[in-house]
Structure 1
Amino acid sequence: MDAAEFAPFQDKVTASLVQVTRTVNHLASEDLNFHRTSSAELTESIDEQSERILSLASAVLKAATGETDLPLPKLEDEDSIEDNWRGVVDVIDSLLEKADACLDEFTGVIKKLSPSQEDQAAAAKKPQKFPTIYDYGPSKIPKPQVLFDRKVDNSNNGPFKPLLRTKPHEITPLEQSLKTQQTEGKEAYPSPYDAEIRAAQYPKPVYEVSPPIDYLPFESTTATFVDTLDGVKEMLEELKAAKEIAIDLEHHDVHSYQGLVSLMQISTRNKDWVVDTLKPWREELQILNEVFADPKILKVLHGSTMDIIWLQRDLGLYVVGMFDTFHAASALGYPKRSLKYLLQKFVNFEADKRYQMADWRVRPLPSGMFDYARSDTHYLLFVYDNLRNELIGASNEDGNLIDYVCERSKNEALQRYELPVYDEKNGQGPGGWYDLLTRNAGMLSKEQFAVFRAVHQWRDEVARAEDEGWQCVFPKHMLFRLAQTMPLDMPTLLRTLSPMTPITKERAVSLLDAIKEAKIAGATGPEWRDIAPPPKTTFKPTATQLENTDFPVAERCEKSQFWGNVLDFNQPPPPPQYSLVASNEALRLSLPLPPMPATVSEAREQLGITDEPVPAPIEQPEFAPEPSAPAENKPFTVKEMGAPRKRKVTPVNQPEKDILTLDGSDDLEMDQESKKKLRKKMRKEKKAQKAEKAAQEATPFDYGAAESVLNSNPTQAPGRQSRPKKAFNPYAKALEAPSGVRKIKRDETGKSLTFRK
């Protein structure tokens, strides 16, 4: 994806994230727990969506941790999110780290080493029979730098001195070119071929339109693998006879602090070579400067920014008369500038990009890797022919695109390699902590910022000593985790860096000491915001405006003007005390009450009440309190808990006895004969009452002797016995509802003893 495709993709992703954020904030502002209780359907729908979101999040986490050493956080329910939140943060940090590396590759800061997601998916389906660079554990391949004639020096003492022993095609003598000079406030060696690169004149065919020369078929031709010094010399003789050559490199930087040029591919119109640059005599390849520094031979490269640096650092090679096809594609306004795009456009060839993540140190070189390396330069001269013709055709009086591309290519060739000096104080330079924190801004306290700097420096020192990449010590997300956690004991350190690399495990004690010292020193040290870059402003006042205008001076406030004292850990303020007067006044202002009279007399006058004699209060007789009776010696019972008591069984021979109660009289205990007599008497009395009532109802009503109903009591009906009116009960219907079964209070079993006070 190039810049033209990335912009709409970024806008689409940003719009989606904004919409998701708005939706989440809207849901968070609603009282979902309250709405759950209002509707069973809503509760079921919310639970269903929660399960769906959890399953989607689990699938994303599983995909993100598929090819990493990070453990997979298990999200089974809402509570498990809090329990596994630290693991989720680690996965997100890992994804952000990969995105950071992809952006660096996209912007050209580093040469692309990792494939796209589509390439990774295609590579996962195919059996990989070669080691990859993504093995951050101990190197499975013996380090070739151990056998180099010139031992690797990862120290940052002094500037880098060019490796040149001879200087073919020189304008300035070698002795003069190897003298230090002041560059950007520090001493450094200039490029030995600085004058030669600036003065180089490109051959005339570069400015002439000519039909592209067809490339030889890839399948019917073979390339030569050069792994001996004699083979290099034979190749050199053939290269001297060429007018244009194509160059490309394969680099490895995982198990090396500075990196290693592992292969160099060179092609002419008729032949391809793949040179092994990991031999102990690798610096003898300087003899290729007879061709590389010859301005009469055109050198075609694609994306040469890092290639120029690597050639100087490892092999002592410099390129004069270079043509970079990347800048040619940029000048023509192609939607993509990658070599893959150019090969598809002009050759209809697509290389197997899964070998981009191969470890190019492996020997012998597998056939697939060999063909992939060869393809980068086999078609490049044909691509150059097409680009040259298009550049000439697109040039006009306003500008010559060929000159534009040649000038840009010269600037690439003028680059100088500098040792990666570690700036402990400011964190500047390649691999410094300043750029890392700027691109990964976060809230770090003083102690955390000090620990971050100390751990970052410790990682750099270990990588230099072991000649390993930083990621082989521990990756970037582990660095931020250490700064946030600040472990002070070995178990916490091992748990924070899990899984821990063997290099770090051997030096865990020194890492723990560095964290402890940094945390103590950080209590009085600076914060990240004191060193962070100021926000960019577009307004730039002139000198006259600065003299005539009093601009406010920015000062650091003791507390945030936006948040106030929210971040301060103070005691909460006491609740406000409202007075009664204030409450009455607030009530009067809030309710439209009529004016109230000030005295009782005014109120009686407004209501029309006349003065009536007030009855004298009834004097109540004074009663002397009766003396309290002395407490009686009442018996009390003490029960002893025990097993359930057995139910008593009535003997069979004992006559049955009933207990009857008549009109509130005492209970009578009688046998069967007495009970029959009593029931017979009760039946006779009841029959007599019914007969008397029937006789009264049969007597006709005498209206003449009846009292008048005009002044009768309204509560008493005529001819009926006076009965009080039943009071209205508003809860009668509620009381008609069925009541629950009362709880039966059972006596606890056991023995009991009765005592008297």
Structure 2
Amino acid sequence: MDSAGGFTPFQDRLSSSLVQVTRTVGQLSSEDLNFYRTSSAELSESLDEQSERILSLTSAVLKAAVAGTDLSAPTLHNEESVEDNWRGVVDVIDALLEKADACLDEFTGVIKKLSPSQEERAPAKKPPQKFPTIYDYGPSKIPKPQVLFDHKPDNSDLGPFRPLLKTKPHAIVPLEESLQTREVDGKTGYPSPYEAEIRAAKYPESVYKVSPPIDYLPFESTTATFVDTLEGAKEMLGELKKAKEIAIDVEHHDVHSYHGLTSLMQISTRDKDWVVDTLQPWREELQMLNEVFADPHILKVLHGSTMDIIWLQRDLGLYLVGLFDTFHAVSALGWPKRSLKVLLQKLVNFEADKRYQMADWRVRPLPDGMFDYARSDTHYLLYIYDLLRNELVETSTKAANHIDYVLERSKTEALQRYERPVYDAANGLGPGGWYDLLSRNPGVLPKEQFAVFKAVHQWRDEVARAEDEGFQCVFPKHMLFRLAQTMPLDMGTLLRTLSPVTPITKERAHDLLEVIQKAKTEGATGPEWRDVAPAPKPLAKAVAPVLQPESTDFPAAERYKTSQFWGNVLEAYESPAPPTYSLVAAAEALRLSLPLPPMPSTVSQTREKLGTTTKPPPSTIPAPTHEEPKIFTVKELGGPRKRKAAPTETTEQAPSTPDELLLETGNEPESTEKRRKKSHKDKKSKKSAQTDSQPENDDIPFDYGAAESVFNAAPAQAPSRRQKKHFNPYAKAMDAPSAARKQNREIQGKSHTFRE
């Protein structure tokens, strides 16, 4: 492309096309394509055609990407070839990214492009490599530094870890007594050699006083010293002895090493920084730094020292006496975020380049960016300590002394001991065991899959120990579950399941296949994962007890054959057995599950409980009288006649059949208006009679036994406008259109009255 102006529209079109393709592929992958293939032959042919087209385009792009390089582009014939050649595809993408980095460096001026004549004379150079990261789980591109150590790590040693100390500066207890095994945390091991010194250490008086913070030196105008020789380490030790406070930090690598490697150590004073290479063959000679690290008069400032303490004593034999952990300081002050990055941003206004946070710290020579990142962790730490110390002292009270809290927690951190991880094949316990992986996985593994999972997990640990590599370099943990679910019994299925296969696993594929076959055979009669899974947490005491039979003699570890919730309901049986638990136990369980106050069962018991002897009010039901002669009128069929309006309110039940409409009580037929007035008058008289019959004492309980039935009660009158209407939440539900009423037609004709 000739100009940069024409690249932007092309980039926009390309990006929009890729986004549209990605969305379409995502939508297709979420559908059941196999079902649609069987339902339509045309769709199946179209999908195959598009798949072949995409594979051919991908192969063409890969070939174009490797033009002019030493890489060979993989050829993709089908979907399986994509998985088999995935490592080759990744290599091509890495090469493209490296070219992009080189072009960007050239564009920004970091790398100056030579003139054509100079390019001819200049030797061919490879493009600059990206700094390695811990995500590089494949074969290590960096030679293993542990191979050159004077004391190489022994991963087969499963005994207690013996401290590396050869001398013990600032000792209260001699070294010989400190290296005696004893019972520690329920196990036989070596205690911390500086346990007595750490507990008896007294911090300097400056820790308990407020003083103006000492400003740090400008980061840009000062440089740090890289210590990679024994002579340089001795010179550094001489300057550290003059300091009153020092800041320490450690960079660690645990991908291409079974136990891990302390790769770098940063040390800073008020006016100077050092970056120490701890991967040198003589690295155990750095124990000379205990003359400063174990000196209680020199304050050691770290942030989040939990793992730093372990790594220093495991690899270098270094121990800290007089530790001040700034993490516990911000915890005592109640800061919501407590990382070192937050402290640098808030207190120093320094933004650390976190690209190097996950870098591979074994790379040598150390790039400038990684060097500056490592140095920044301790360059500002003493100034941050001054600010936090002043705030701790100012906010401390007699009830809550923040300084004492931080110092006590710091001593606890310094007393940590390193212990070798021992693999527990039977129970899977420990930081690298299979029990922790399965307990966090929601799936349930049957017998054979559970046996394969344990066997493959143990095989991976043995290979990692032998090769001095991390677990993920053999294969990651998600491959463990895939192997356990698939249980491959042939080499082709095994390699497809592990695709992409790491070189370490590929060399031992036959051994892994034998392990899987043997574990599957033995697992047919073994336990399931649910048999050893962690038991569910018990319910709280406030929860009501479950209704159970009276005799429950089931052992705690035995699996129930029937559901504890449904019982035998789901099983087919002829005659269900009566429950064996007693009604008393059932009633008691129900009472505990529903904590209601005791209620009387009848109205008379309520009256007795209240201590009232009031007689129930007289019944409002009229007494039966002698039957009077009935008068009725019979109508004769005749011509049509205009129908009268039906009465709106009646005191008696309205007739509901055509035959009852022909009968009218009384001597003479009454008009609708007369019947309405009479009904209203009867209602008033009945209401006044009920009011007179009520007792004056309002405290008398209501007699439900003598009350009039509500089933035959007259409908309630609509409230007047002056009366306050109660809110009815179902009023709008009654606004629905009603069905057509059945009309009662009067039969035309004459009528005649008879007396019985």
**TM norm structure 2:** 0.58
Give 1:78's aligned residue.
32
SS in 1 for 2:213: coil
Which amino acid in 1 is paired with 2:141? K
Instruction: Please state if 1:392 is matched with 2:393.
Output: yes
2:149 matched to which residue of 1?
148
The equivalent of 1:102 in structure 2 is: none
The answer to whether residue 559 in structure 2 is matched with residue 556 in structure 1 is yes
Q: Please say if residues 54 and 75 of structure 1, whose CA atoms lie closer than 8 Å, have aligned partners that are also in contact.
A: no
Cα pair 1:75 1:81 within 8 Å, conserved? no
Change (3 A) 1:57 1:316: farther
- From the superposition, tell whether residues 491 and 560 of structure 1 become closer, same or farther in structure 2 (CA, over 3 Å): farther
5 Å-filtered alignment, 1:20-419, equals 75=29, 77-79=31-33, 129-419=130-420
> CA separation of 1:152/1:540 partners in 2, compared to 1, >3 Å: closer, same or farther?
farther
* 1:261 to partner: Cα distance: 0.6
Distance 1:507 1:567 in 2: 49
| 1:662-704 CA-partner distances (Å, limit 9, x unpaired) | xxxxxxxxxxxxxxxxxxxxxxxxxxxxxxxxxxxxxxxxxxx
Unpaired runs of 5+ in structure 2? 1-18, 38-46, 48-78, 84-100, 106-127, 543-549, 574-756
Q: Which amino acid aligns with 2:498?
A: L
CA contact (8 A) 1:54 1:77 kept: no
1:524 alignment counterpart: 525
Change (3 A) 1:462 1:567: farther
CA contact (8 A) 1:246 1:380 kept: yes
User: What do the CA deviations read for 1:218-269 (whole angstroms, capped 9, x no partner)?
Assistant: 0010100000001001000100010000000111111000000110000000
Structure 1 residues 432 and 182: CA distance shift in structure 2, 3 A: same
SS of the counterpart of 1:392?
helix
Secondary structure of the 2:265 match is strand
| Equivalent runs, 1:574-613 vs 2, <5 Å | none
Do the aligned partners of residues 59 and 199 (structure 1) sit closer, same or farther apart at CA in structure 2, a change above 3 Å counting? farther
CA contact (8 A) 1:156 1:420 kept: no
The Cα of 1:437 is off from its aligned counterpart by: 0.9
Paired residues of 1:253 and 1:469 also in contact (CA < 8 A): yes
Instruction: Output the amino acid matched with 2:523.
Output: G
User: Deviations 1:262-287 (Å, cap 9, x if unpaired)?
Assistant: 10000000000000000000000000
Give the residue type in structure 2 aligned to 1:524: T
Q: Which AA in structure 1 matches 2:198?
A: I
In structure 2, relative to structure 1, the CA distance for the partners of 1:550 and 1:375 (3 Å cut) is: farther
**Is contact 1:252–1:259 with CA below 8 Å preserved after alignment?**
yes
Sort the Cα spacing of 1:537 and 1:351 in 2 relative to 1 into closer, same or farther, 3 A. same
Deviation at 1:540, TM superposition (A): 7.4
In structure 2, relative to structure 1, the CA distance for the partners of 1:348 and 1:528 (3 Å cut) is same
Within 5 Å, which residues of 2 pair with 1:609-648?
A: none
Shift of 1:537: 2.3
Q: Secondary structure at the match of 1:233?
A: helix
> Partners of 1:80 and 1:189 in 2: how far apart?
62
Q: CA deviation at 1:190?
A: 0.5
Residues 444, 530 of structure 2: 8 Å contact kept: no
Cα 1:237/1:58, change in 2 over 3 Å: farther
Q: What SS class does the counterpart of residue 248 from structure 2 fall into? A: strand
In 1, are the aligned partners of 2:224 and 2:275 still within 8 Å (CA)? yes
Supply the distance in 2 between the matched residues of 1:425 and 1:517 (Cα, whole angstroms).
16
How many angstroms apart in 2 are the aligned matches of 1:80 and 1:315?
59
Distance 1:488 1:559 in 2: 35
The alpha-carbon deviation at position 562 of structure 1 amounts to 5.7
Amino acid at match of 1:388: R
- Aligned mates of 1:391, 1:236 — CA distance in 2: 31
Hey, what's the Cα distance between the residues in 1 that align with 2:385 and 2:204?
A: 14
Letter in 2 for 1:556: R
Q: Helix, strand or coil for the counterpart of 1:556? A: coil
Q: Return the alpha-carbon distance in structure 1 between the equivalents of residues 470 and 570 of structure 2.
A: 40
Decide whether aligned partners of structure 1 residues 388 and 164 sit closer, same or farther in structure 2, where only a CA change above 3 A counts: same
Distance in 1, Cα, partners of 2:374 & 2:265: 9
Cα-to-partner distance string for 1:397-437 (whole Å, 9 max, x where unaligned):
21110110111111111110001100011111121111111
Q: Secondary structure at the match of 1:525?
A: coil
Cα pair 2:263 2:361 within 8 Å, conserved: yes
Q: Which residue of 2 aligns with 1:441?
A: 442
User: Secondary structure at the residue paired with 1:299?
Assistant: strand
Q: Give the whole-Å Cα distance in 1 for the aligned partners of 2:535 and 2:331.
A: 33
Separation in 1, partners of 2:496, 2:380:
51
Does structure 2 retain, via aligned residues, the 8 Å contact 1:450–1:525?
yes
Aligned pair in 2 of structure 1 residues 189, 540: CA closer, same or farther (>3 Å)? farther
**After the TM superposition, which of the residue ranges 268-277 and 556-565 deviates more from structure 2?**
556-565
Letter in 2 for 1:209: V
Tell me which residue corresponds to 2:696: none
Distance 1:516 1:199 in 2: 58
- Structure 1 80/278 Cα, relative in aligned 2: closer, same or farther at 3 Å? farther
Q: Deviations over 1:435-466 (max 9, x none)?
A: 11111231100111111110000000000000
Q: Is the 8 A contact 1:300 1:380 kept in 2?
A: yes
Contact 2:169–2:291 (Cα < 8 Å) also in 1:
yes
- Is 1:425 the counterpart of 2:426? The answer is yes
8 Å CA contact 1:289, 1:317 repeated in 2: yes
2:36 and 2:311 mapped to 1: Cα distance? 48
- What is residue 502 of structure 2 aligned with on the other side? 501
2:462 is aligned with 1:461: yes
Q: Write the distance in 2 (CA, Å) between the matches of 1:559 and 1:460.
A: 39
Residues 309 and 416 in structure 1, CA contact (< 8 A), matched pair in contact too: yes
1:514 equivalent in structure 2? 515
Alpha-carbon contact 2:324-2:406 (below 8 Å) kept:
yes
Distance 2:213 2:553 in 1: 65
Deviation at 1:138, TM superposition (A): 0.6
Alpha-carbon offset, residue 186 of structure 1 = 2.2
User: Equivalents in 2 of 1:566, 1:390: separation in Å?
Assistant: 67
Q: Distance in 1 between matches of 2:211 and 2:552?
A: 63
CA distance in 2, matches of 1:559, 1:292: 64
Greater Rg, structure 1 or structure 2? 1
In the alignment, structure 1 segments of 5+ residues that lack a partner are 1-51, 61-73, 92-121, 542-548, 574-757
1:407 and 1:383 map into 2 onto residues whose CA distance is 20
AA of the residue aligned to 1:204 = E
* Count of aligned positions: 463
1:182 match: secondary structure? strand
Once superposed, which parts of structure 1, at least 4 consecutive aligned residues long, lie more than 3 Å away? 52-60, 80-84, 125-128, 538-541, 549-555, 559-568
| C-alpha displacement of 1:58 | 5.3
Which whole-Å CA distance do the structure 1 matches of 2:429 and 2:483 have between them? 21
Aligned mates of 2:420, 2:551 — CA distance in 1: 45
Once the two structures are superposed, residues 273-304 of structure 1 have per-residue CA deviations (whole angstroms, 9 ceiling, x without a partner) of: 00000000000000000000011100000011
Mapped to 1, the partners of 2:158 and 2:377 lie a distance apart of 37
Offset from partner CA, 1:335-392 (integer Å, 9 cap, x none): 2000000001100001100001211111111111100000000000011111111111
Structure-to-structure mapping, 1:672-683, within 5 angstroms:
none
- In structure 1, C-alpha distance between the alignment counterparts of 2:338 and 2:474, rounded to whole Å: 35
- Aligned to 2:292, the other structure's residue is in SS state helix
**Alpha carbons 2:452, 2:484 under 8 Å: kept:** yes
Q: Deviations over 1:154-190 (max 9, x none)?
A: 1242111100000001111111111111223321111
